[in-house]
Chains A and B, each alone.
Chain A
Amino acid sequence: MNEAVPQPQPNLPVDNNHGPVGTNRNWVIVVVIAIVLALMVWAAAWHARQGMRGRAQLSGSVAGKPAPDFALKDVSGKTVHLSDFKGKAVLLNFWATWCPPCKEEIPWFVDLQQKYGQQGFQVIGISTDDDAKPQEIEAFARTLGVNYPVLLSNQGVESEYGGIEALPTTFYIGRDGKIVSRIRGLASHAVVEENIHAAMAQTQANAQTGNAN
């Protein structure tokens, strides 16, 4: 009669139902860690997404680049260049009459133009309305009390400013002619004013750096 050859036993204690206990525990730990980490990453991303909902899209990719000069007609037919405002901090706002968020922030721009205009700050509005006549755009702007130039956009200027995919899109340009920031979508009044300060302060910082040298 043959007898079974005894098999070498592992050093680990054995659970008769599930095999070596230590190995199983390692697998469980690994799986639990993986699930917990994945949930943490997902939760962080979800919270970040919730926080960003309804807020403006910020992009710093154009910061520091010279703002492209342009020659656009205003609603009265006069040609206006960005370089006409050389030495001023500029808020360049792309908007349209069909854009409700644009209509929300234009009154803020009116107030801020009043508040900072004497300190070397200028708002410029660029209407991207394709179908509206200049007189209609002017009438719309007048109802909002616009106290700054309203220019008529074209394909060229939108392309030079990286493509205007959505409105409002606002560029903050320092006194040195370089872009400080670009904001796509409606930002809060506080964020707008912060960016104006940054645009004005950047120019002062440049002047101080120049004086130090």
Chain B
Amino acid sequence: MRFRIALLIALTACTLAALAKDDDLLNQGRKAPSVSAMPVPIVQVTRGKPGNFQIQFRVSSGFHINSNKPKSEYLVPTALKLDPPTDIVIANVSYPAGADKSFSFLGPNESLNVYSGDFIVSGKVLASQKASPGIYRVHGTLTYQACDNAQCFPPKKTPVSFDVRVARATSHRVRRNPPQSPNVH
């Protein structure tokens, strides 16, 4: 009896394993690419002084996206667009250099400049002198266009947001010592 139960369990396990792999086969080539933004730590800035932000993005496995500087004008570049609130300014957005990669659908001496895996887009955040101290939220989108080894997917946008904490500028008034008594004892 135990033997039969054990055999039934073994066959069930094999069937489940086979079904799981069948799903992999059925979904092969049907997986859609994605680029996700990792959580961004709060950016601390003082009024009038810039702070830095970094946003880490992750390209789903098996896909690549064009870099910010693709090799053809027809290719859709990866680009971050941020819409900061009033009194917050975003500047100097910079992208990493992409990797030159060859693909089977390109000629022997051709390559694409792409991002795959994780990459970071960074820049500066500035709060104007009249910005009230507090937390401001910056929203935006990352536009990208992904392909795998045989097919390409329409351009998409990933939403992005991060918080900026604005503090008052510290005072630099010079402290004067109180007058000293000339009579030292």
User: Which of B18, B147, B149, B150: most chain A CB closer than 10 A?
Assistant: B150
B174 at the interface (CB under 8 A from A): no
Contact, CB under 8 Å: A54 / B150: yes
Which of A30, A45, A96, A128 is close to B3, meaning CB atoms less than 8 Å apart? A30
Specify which chain B residues have a CB less than 8 angstroms from the CB of A52 in the assembled complex: 25, 28-29
User: Is the CB of B180 closer than 8 A to any CB of chain A?
Assistant: no
The CA of A97 and the CA of B66, in the complex, are separated in Å by 14
- CB of A166 within 8 A of CB of B6, answer no
Most A CB atoms within 10 A — which of B18, B32, B106? B18
| Residues of chain B contacted by A34 (CB below 8 angstroms) | 9-11, 13-14
A31–B154 CA distance with the chains assembled, in angstroms: 48
Taking the complex as formed, is A190 at the interface, i.e. its CB lies under 8 A from any CB of chain B?
no
A49 & B25 in contact (Cβ 8 Å cutoff): yes
A102 CA / B147 CA spacing, docked (Å)? 11
Q: How far is the CB of A50 from chain B (nearest CB, A)?
A: 10
Of B6, B11, B17, B155, which one neighbours A27 at CB under 8 angstroms? B6
> A101 contacts B150, CB within 8 Å?
yes
A133 at the binding interface (Cβ < 8 Å):
no
Check A185–B3 contact: CB distance below 8 A. Answer: no
| B148-163 with Cβ < 8 A to chain A | 149-155
Q: Taking the complex as formed, is B38 at the interface, i.e. its CB lies under 8 A from any CB of chain A?
A: no
Chain B, Cβ-Cβ closest to A40:
B14
- Distance in angstroms between the alpha carbons of A27 and B6 in the assembled complex: 7
Does A38 reach chain B (CB closer than 8 Å)? yes
The contact of B105 among A23, A96, A186, by CB within 8 Å, is A186
Is A33's CB within 8 Å of the partner chain B?
yes
CB-defined contacts of B76 to chain A, threshold 8 Å: 98
The tally of residues in B whose CB lies under 8 Å from a CB in A reads 36
CA distance A96 to B106 in the complex (A): 16
A98 partner, pick from B14, B103, B155, beta carbons under 8 A: B155
Judge whether B17 and A42 touch: CB under 8 Å: yes
Does B169 sit within 8 A of A, measured CB to CB? Answer: no
Residues of B within 8 A of A140 (CB): 74
Residue A48, interface by CB 8 Å: yes
Tell whether A165 is near chain B: CB-to-CB under 8 Å: yes
Q: How far is the CA of A186 from the CA of B106 in the complex (A)?
A: 11
> Do A101 and B24 have beta carbons less than 8 Å apart?
no
CA distance A37 to B17 in the complex (A): 9
Q: Which of B10, B30, B112 contacts A31 (CB 8 A)?
A: B10
CB distance from B8 to the nearest CB of A (A): 10
On B, residues with C-beta under 8 Å from A are 2-3, 6-7, 9-11, 13-14, 17-18, 21-22, 24-25, 28-30, 32, 74-76, 103-106, 112, 145, 147, 149-155
29 contacts between A and B (CB under 8 A): A26-B3, A30-B10, A34-B9, A38-B17, A41-B14, A41-B18, A41-B21, A49-B24, A52-B29, A53-B149, A54-B149, A56-B29, A57-B29, A96-B152, A96-B154, A98-B74, A98-B75, A98-B145, A98-B155, A100-B112, A100-B152, A101-B152, A104-B105, A166-B153, A167-B152, A167-B154, A184-B29, A185-B151, A186-B105
Q: Which residues of A contact B (CB under 8 A)?
A: 23, 26-27, 30-31, 33-34, 37-38, 41-42, 44-45, 48-49, 52-57, 96-102, 104, 128, 130, 140, 165-168, 184-186
Beyond known contacts A23-B3, A100-B112, A128-B154: 17 more, CB 8 A cutoff: A27-B6, A30-B10, A31-B6, A41-B14, A54-B150, A97-B74, A98-B74, A100-B75, A100-B106, A101-B152, A102-B152, A140-B74, A166-B152, A167-B153, A167-B154, A184-B151, A186-B104
